[in-house]
């Protein structure tokens, strides 16, 4: 599915790893059922938690290259906060 955002508002391929694109194109499928023959299982799609790290890295890289608009300011702040917490946790280990 192609983004409807203008080109200037999309993260470009320069910042998105091929593995991330592959993961986003093939979400994990989860099935959950309450039991019983009358109810078919519910199906949900989702992603491995590592996708969040890959997205964070792409956003930080795009920002470092000056390719993010002010629209992404809150998202970037969250990404940088997660990065600081992760760095602090690693240094404590």
* pLDDT in the model for residue 8: 54
* pLDDT in the model for residue 78: 92
Contacts of 14 by beta carbon, 8 Å cutoff, 6+ apart: 62, 65, 67
Domain residue spans of the chain = 11-92
Q: What are phi and psi of 6, to 5 degrees?
A: -60, 155
Give per-residue pLDDT as tens, 26-51: 999 998 876 667 777 788 999 988 88
Segments of the chain scoring below 70 in pLDDT: 1-13, 34-36, 93
- Among 24, 23, 18, 19, CA closest to 3: 24
DSSP secondary structure letter of residue 45: E
User: What percent of the chain clears pLDDT 70, i.e. is strictly above it?
Assistant: 81
CA–CA separation, 51 vs 58, rounded Å? 11
- Among 7, 10, 14, 48, CA closest to 28: 48
Tokens describing residue 2: 């192609």
């Amino acid at each position: 599915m192609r983004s409807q955002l203008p080109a200037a508002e999309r993260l470009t391929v320069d910042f998105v790893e091929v593995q991330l694109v592959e993961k986003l194109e093939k979400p994990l499928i989860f099935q959950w059922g309450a039991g019983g023959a009358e109810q078919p299982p519910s199906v949900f799609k989702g992603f491995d938690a590592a996708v969040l790290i890959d997205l964070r890295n792409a956003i930080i890289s795009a920002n470092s290259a000056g390719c993010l608009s002010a629209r992404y300011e809150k998202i970037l702040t969250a990404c940088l906060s997660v990065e600081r917490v992760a760095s602090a946790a690693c240094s404590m280990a």
